């Protein structure tokens, strides 16, 4: 399997093929610059062969506020079939403005290719689903909990997630998706709900990978 990380720009040999799964771009506008990005890099590496003709492209918002995330997403010049995902947490104090959540909901409703993955209290809640059936909110907010439970030898949310495929792999990803689906996840209409919408983004990536892999095998 060839290793490849997600790209900040279209990869040199990337090509779009009309009417096919290949050539698709999944844009991710994320508030997190380290944990979320390093996690996605790991998933992309695990699916390197299946995503060989699919591009995961990061957009950098000016800051981590909802208006900045929306502005970055709205500035993307996507083609039909491309997806745009806004990835954010609920734990920031400046996200108590109901109008901002309404604007986020409006953007999502504008297109079937607009998506939002909210984690409450934070992205680490999604990581815990790789190891636990029903994580506690308090544990997701504690970096030391990941070390205490031996999920990672060390963990710091201000740094990159350890690239340990023995801990985060396609098997634990499948478990995380199935576990997270059992819990109501936060939405712009209900951001206070404890849970994570990351499983929806992962389902989309896996769906695209499967379709692209089927196409490549049929060439």
Could you tell me if residue 89 is left (phi over 0), alpha (psi between -120 and 50 degrees) or otherwise beta? beta
State the Cα–Cα distance between residues 136 and 144, nearest whole angstrom: 14
Q: What is the pLDDT of residue 4?
A: 56
- CA distances to 90, 127, 136, 169 from 145, rounded to whole Å, are 20, 12, 11, 20
pTM: 0.86
Q: How confident is the model at residue 2 (pLDDT cuts 50, 70, 90)?
A: low
pLDDT tens across 159-199, in order?
Answer: 666 655 578 899 999 999 999 999 989 999 999 999 999 99
State the Cα–Cα distance between residues 100 and 2, nearest whole angstrom: 41
Contact between 102 and 188 under an 8 Å Cβ cutoff? The reply is yes
Host H or E run for residue 83: strand 83-89
pLDDT tens across 11-30, in order?
Answer: 333 333 333 345 688 999 99
Q: What is the pLDDT of residue 21?
A: 43
Residue reference for tokens 């495929």: 165
Residue 207 has pLDDT above 70, yes or no: yes
pLDDT tens across 49-90, in order?
Answer: 888 777 889 998 999 899 999 999 999 998 888 999 999 998
Q: How confident is the model at residue 94 (pLDDT cuts 50, 70, 90)?
A: low
């Amino acid at each position: 399997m060839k290793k490849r990380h997600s790209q900040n720009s279209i990869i040199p040999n990337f090509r779009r093929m009309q009417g096919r799964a290949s050539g698709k771009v999944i844009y991710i506008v994320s508030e997190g610059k380290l944990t979320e990005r390093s996690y996605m890099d790991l998933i992309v590496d695990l699916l390197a062969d299946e995503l060989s003709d699919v591009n995961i492209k990061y957009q950098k918002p000016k800051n981590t506020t909802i208006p900045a995330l929306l502005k970055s997403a709205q500035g993307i010049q996507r083609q039909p079939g491309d997806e745009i995902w806004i990835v954010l947490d609920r734990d920031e104090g400046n996200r108590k403005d109901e109008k901002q959540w309404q604007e986020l909901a409006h953007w999502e409703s504008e297109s079937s290719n607009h998506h939002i993955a909210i984690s409450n209290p934070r992205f680490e809640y999604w990581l815990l689903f790789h190891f636990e059936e029903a994580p506690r909110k308090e544990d997701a907010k504690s970096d030391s909990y990941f070390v205490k439970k031996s999920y990672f030898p060390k963990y710091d949310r201000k740094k990159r997630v350890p690239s340990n495929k023995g801990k985060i792999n396609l098997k634990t990803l499948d478990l995380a998706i199935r576990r997270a689906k059992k819990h109501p996840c936060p939405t712009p209409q209900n951001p206070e709900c404890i849970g994570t919408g990351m499983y929806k983004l992962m389902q989309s990536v896996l769906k695209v990978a499967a379709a692209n892999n089927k196409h490549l095998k049929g060439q």
